[in-house]
């Protein structure tokens, strides 16, 4: 699956609040993500090498507040902190925020069809695949995603119940459970 876009600021902030972050932590993460994105556009993929003092000035907070909130972001797995000790007298901290991406429903549907087709191709003597552009197939996949809650849960179900899916026809029968009456 390919990602469609990064969360826009409002969606990202809402997601971060849902994860239990406060406003300061959310703003810190968003600042780090923006700096990292800019650095990557300039060819620097290693991460951010900014001091707590510089980050604090950007956000209007103390260095101690930066330290505490960076620790919280690291604890939640939203950033990785490493140290460059290549120059013994000048250790540099590198902060790398994780990439949060949002998948559109259409992207999930296409990805799941591709996943099912890959699964079908692994079955001996099976020659048929789901049609990627068939509106009925796409609708059934959409309803399966809705029923299970996510495309990943559909994949987990398929993986856990491989013996039920012996060929193209059994997949079609299973998907027909998700079509409208």
Place of tokens 């029968």: 173
Give the Cα separation of 133 and 140 in Å (integer). Answer: 12
User: Given the structure tokens 């079955």, which residue do they identify?
Assistant: 123
CA-based nearest residue to 27, from 75, 102, 78, 64 = 78
> Is the pLDDT confidence value at 122 over 80?
yes
User: Within 13 Å, how many C-alpha atoms sit on residue 141's CB side?
Assistant: 25
Helix (H, G, I), strand (E, B) or coil at 164: helix
Distance CA(46)–CA(36), nearest Å, equals: 9
- pTM value? 0.56
Cα maximum dimension of the chain = 71
Domain boundaries, the chain: 5-101, 103-176
Q: What is the pLDDT of residues 26-45, one digit of tens each?
A: 999 999 988 998 888 888 88
Query: Which parts of the chain fold into alpha helices (H)?
Result: 9-18, 23-41, 52-59, 63-75, 105-121, 135-148, 151-160, 168-176
| Cα–Cα nearest to 148, from 135, 161, 136 | 161
Q: What are the tens digits of pLDDT across the range 42-77?
A: 888 889 999 999 999 999 999 999 999 999 999 999
Of 13-22, 41-50, 70-79, 135-144, the range with the lowest mean pLDDT is 13-22
Task: For residue 83, give the 3-state DSSP assignment.
Answer: strand
pLDDT at 1 over 60: no
Query: Residue 134: how many CB atoms within 10 A of its CB?
Result: 12
Topology adopted by domain 5-101: Arc Repressor Mutant, subunit A (1.10.10)
Quick one: three-class SS letters along 31-75? HHHHHHHHHHHCCCCCCECCCHHHHHHHHCCCHHHHHHHHHHHHH
């Amino acid at each position: 699956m390919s990602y469609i876009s990064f969360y826009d600021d409002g969606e990202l902030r809402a997601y971060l609040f849902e994860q239990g972050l406060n406003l300061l932590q959310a703003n810190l993460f968003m600042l780090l993500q923006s700096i990292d994105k800019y650095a990557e556009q300039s060819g620097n993929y290693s991460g951010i090498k900014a001091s707590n003092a510089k980050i604090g000035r950007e956000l209007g907070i103390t260095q101690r507040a930066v330290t505490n909130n960076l620790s919280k972001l690291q604890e939640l797995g939203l950033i990785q902190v490493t140290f460059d000790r290549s120059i013994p007298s000048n250790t540099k901290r590198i902060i790398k925020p994780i990439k949060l991406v949002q998948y559109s429903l259409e992207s999930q549907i296409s990805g799941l069809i591709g996943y099912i087709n890959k699964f079908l191709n692994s079955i001996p003597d099976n020659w048929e695949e789901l049609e990627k552009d068939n509106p009925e197939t796409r609708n059934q996949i959409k309803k399966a995603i809705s029923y299970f809650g996510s495309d990943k849960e559909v994949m987990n179900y398929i993986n856990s119940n491989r013996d039920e899916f012996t060929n193209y026809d059994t997949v079609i029968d299973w998907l027909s459970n998700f079509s409208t009456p």
